[in-house]
Chains A and B, each alone.
Chain A
């Protein structure tokens, strides 16, 4: 293994300026995986935050939106998978083995340790990252379709990458327009102040662009405020760069004007419909829109029988992860307290032990070695993680008891199952002794079952599991 590690370090251009003996300890925990010809090494859309180096063989990148294979080859010693590793987004492309390959997998935390320890590695990987995301962006945003190669190269050279934290304002209404922005990842809200009150107009997500309206207008002033509602990364193209794009593609001006008109129509509709406006405001302001999935409770159907919570409890050691209170989205829709599996999960990124992970589908769950420190519960912006006593389990109700002794609604609505196991229940020691004696529980989307207990067992269809960005499609402009 030591020889292979030395071989890897010598092959990887990433480490060419560093002393192999110094780099080696950082790569000690890496594993080497083998792939056959035509086998997928990385799959577009999957959550996997490892960085990879091709140890041997040859691979190719395939973009999902490109008409033909991107054809960019990955050769021995090349680093790839850096976008997901650095930004935490799902894989942005497929990588296929063109021949039998061996790949060194560097876990995300090791990668960050390397970046911190070696300046040259940091510089190189950031450069690879910049080149890849700009290349991908210029290929997938329709604004740039059909532009000559030289112009694209020119734009790529001038473009800047910008990172913004949650809450940062990109520009204010009335500011001078100096650039066009393309969202790499993250979510932003567009708002305007009417009568001293902020009114949310829409939201913008990865792959979309904004700021062109002011660049096209004669006044050159921003017509709305745009601010980040999650950690966001943007590509900034200067006014000059945008001018070059318009000169190269004269029809684009008209297309953009039409899009702006459609947006105005949407804003007018929104202003006249308080219900729509309220739902939009709630989903964007609370960040629900950026969540992967959300349990929505339709109160016009909910008979408050509590079967959803009861089913959840019975399927999860007697403790329900579902609490039927939460963020009110509109007059009758509620995003109940249940894990949203966020795109940018604060619980996972700030877990001190790495016990919270995301699987390839994007589902976030606690691993068995969670020490119950409660950091995730504190960091969850929605209060969706609950602390329970790890050494106690609530007795599950037997079938006979449920069949003959239980009348839904007999207990206080939803009473039995809610959140905390009652004191004094029978004590079954957990297999693993936790330092704090606590255990963190949250919705794991019924991991291990092929249905969602609460949704599957709702007798009226009031409980739904939705992808907010799709479910609220009528509210948001495309």
Chain B
């Protein structure tokens, strides 16, 4: 029976870089041995052997998607699978290059290799993105994260700001409409916020409201502070949304590229088997 409080961790967490390095060194060493004897390249026994390893690796890499959605599959934790996915993917690059003897001929081979490298480079980019995004998000502190809630849209903040301003005097409402509201109504594109860091978001907020506070009618000046807090929340939300969107976009890209690669690979296998 499972013990209480057992901390489940990926036992290989720290070992993957060493496993990857050792496997890569072994693959290159074997390749170098056969290369000196002129026994490498497409169509040779050595090339086919590397191809078989590469195919197995490609199937394993694709199986990650299946593990992701079968929650009760007793095939190891998803964290272990993800790490294996990353490192086996990197190892695959070496194996595929060894399979073709570090040279590519023909249009079909170029397409296949192009898709493979798009996949591999995309994988590296995704790994970096998935490493950096949570760090950037958590720098705001947990309380600022919108976990388990709908990410509120631009209209939500605009409506709240309108409501807040509506409680002020006529003069303040005019001032709000001309000077503050445009900031709440401004663009919400994830791409715009993707290029910003969390400090620039805060600085922007301070910059916007530093001048506005002095211009506001004296009796309603306290409301500018409330609007500033709301605007800060809006900016933080936009910042989070941009990171989450980026991770989502990446998944939308990585999956189809993989599907295209697998389809091309299948054609390659049929052609090889036929001829």
What residues make up the interface of A, taking CB atoms closer than 8 Å to B?
Answer: 292-293, 299-305, 307, 309-311, 314-315, 323-325, 328, 331-332, 334, 341, 361-363, 399, 402-403, 406-410, 412-415, 418, 445, 449-453, 455-462, 464-467, 470-471
Give Cα distance in the complex from A310 to B77, angstroms.
Answer: 15
- Whether A456 and B138, one on each chain, are in contact in the complex, defined by CB atoms closer than 8 angstroms, is no
A-B contact pairs, 18 of them (CB 8 A): A307-B71, A310-B71, A315-B71, A324-B148, A334-B142, A362-B4, A363-B4, A399-B70, A406-B69, A407-B255, A408-B68, A409-B251, A451-B8, A456-B71, A457-B77, A459-B68, A459-B79, A465-B8
Contact flag A461-B148 (CB < 8 Å), given A303-B247, A315-B71, A332-B138: no
Contact flag A457-B66 (CB < 8 Å), given A293-B5, A299-B142, A361-B4: no
Contact flag A410-B248 (CB < 8 Å), given A341-B4, A402-B69, A456-B77: yes
Partner of B13, one of A331, A418, A461, A466: A461
Contact flag A302-B247 (CB < 8 Å), given A414-B147, A453-B71, A466-B7: no
Contact flag A304-B244 (CB < 8 Å), given A399-B69, A462-B134: yes
Q: B195 at interface (Cβ–Cβ under 8 A)?
A: no
Contacts of A456 in B (CB 8 A): 8, 71, 77-78
- Whether B5 and A299, one on each chain, are in contact in the complex, defined by CB atoms closer than 8 angstroms, is no
Contacts of A309 in B (CB 8 A): 148
Contacts of B4 in A (CB 8 A): 292-293, 341, 361-363, 445, 467
- Whether B68 and A307, one on each chain, are in contact in the complex, defined by CB atoms closer than 8 angstroms, is yes
Contacts of A414 in B (CB 8 A): 147-148
Contacts of B2 in A (CB 8 A): 361, 445, 450-451
Q: B186 at interface (Cβ–Cβ under 8 A)?
A: no
Contacts of A465 in B (CB 8 A): 5-8
Main SS at interface, chain A: loop
Contacts of A323 in B (CB 8 A): 148
Give Cα distance in the complex from A310 to B148, angstroms.
Answer: 12
Q: B20 at interface (Cβ–Cβ under 8 A)?
A: no
- Whether B146 and A292, one on each chain, are in contact in the complex, defined by CB atoms closer than 8 angstroms, is no
Contact flag A403-B66 (CB < 8 Å), given A299-B134, A301-B134: yes
Contact flag A412-B82 (CB < 8 Å), given A299-B142, A311-B71: no
Partner of A299, one of B68, B77, B138, B248: B138
Partner of A331, one of B77, B141, B251: B141
- Whether B244 and A413, one on each chain, are in contact in the complex, defined by CB atoms closer than 8 angstroms, is yes
Q: B143 at interface (Cβ–Cβ under 8 A)?
A: yes
Q: A299-B142, A304-B147 are in contact. List 11 more A-B contacts (CB 8 A).
A: A292-B5, A303-B133, A325-B148, A331-B138, A361-B2, A408-B251, A414-B148, A418-B148, A458-B78, A458-B79, A466-B5
Contacts of A407 in B (CB 8 A): 248, 251-252, 255
Q: How far is the CB of B76 from chain A (nearest CB, A)?
A: 9
Q: How far is the CB of B60 from chain A (nearest CB, A)?
A: 16
Contacts of A332 in B (CB 8 A): 138, 142
- Whether A467 and B147, one on each chain, are in contact in the complex, defined by CB atoms closer than 8 angstroms, is no
Contacts of A314 in B (CB 8 A): 71
Partner of A307, one of B78, B147, B148: B78
A-facing mask of B238-268, CB < 8 A → 1, else 0?
A: 0000001001100110010000000000000
Which B residue's beta carbon lies closest to that of A468? B5
Q: How far is the CB of B207 from chain A (nearest CB, A)?
A: 26
Give Cα distance in the complex from A180 to B222, angstroms.
Answer: 55
Which A residue's beta carbon lies closest to that of B5? A467
Which A residue's beta carbon lies closest to that of B69? A402
Q: B36 at interface (Cβ–Cβ under 8 A)?
A: no
- Whether A464 and B7, one on each chain, are in contact in the complex, defined by CB atoms closer than 8 angstroms, is yes
- Whether A299 and B145, one on each chain, are in contact in the complex, defined by CB atoms closer than 8 angstroms, is yes
Give Cα distance in the complex from A332 to B251, angstroms.
Answer: 25
Q: How far is the CB of B84 from chain A (nearest CB, A)?
A: 11
Which B residue's beta carbon lies closest to that of A470? B5
Q: B26 at interface (Cβ–Cβ under 8 A)?
A: no
Q: B98 at interface (Cβ–Cβ under 8 A)?
A: no
Q: How far is the CB of A439 from chain B (nearest CB, A)?
A: 21
Contacts of B130 in A (CB 8 A): 303, 460
Give Cα distance in the complex from A363 to B4, angstroms.
Answer: 8
Contacts of A451 in B (CB 8 A): 2, 8, 74, 77
- Whether B148 and A455, one on each chain, are in contact in the complex, defined by CB atoms closer than 8 angstroms, is no
Contacts of A361 in B (CB 8 A): 1-4
Partner of B134, one of A302, A310, A464: A302
- Whether A413 and B79, one on each chain, are in contact in the complex, defined by CB atoms closer than 8 angstroms, is no
- Whether A328 and B143, one on each chain, are in contact in the complex, defined by CB atoms closer than 8 angstroms, is yes
Contacts of B149 in A (CB 8 A): 412-413
Most chain B Cβ neighbours within 10 Å, of A311, A450, A461, A467: A461
Give Cα distance in the complex from A129 to B68, angstroms.
Answer: 53
Partner of A459, one of B1, B78, B138: B78
Give Cα distance in the complex from A414 to B148, angstroms.
Answer: 5
A-facing mask of B111-148, CB < 8 A → 1, else 0?
A: 00000000000000000001001110110011101111
Q: B44 at interface (Cβ–Cβ under 8 A)?
A: no
- Whether B138 and A413, one on each chain, are in contact in the complex, defined by CB atoms closer than 8 angstroms, is no
Q: How far is the CB of B134 from chain A (nearest CB, A)?
A: 5
- Whether B66 and A461, one on each chain, are in contact in the complex, defined by CB atoms closer than 8 angstroms, is no
- Whether A300 and B150, one on each chain, are in contact in the complex, defined by CB atoms closer than 8 angstroms, is no
Give Cα distance in the complex from A252 to B82, angstroms.
Answer: 54
Partner of B147, one of A325, A362, A461: A325
Most chain A Cβ neighbours within 10 Å, of B2, B66, B147: B147
Give Cα distance in the complex from A341 to B5, angstroms.
Answer: 10
Contacts of B147 in A (CB 8 A): 302, 304, 324-325, 413-414
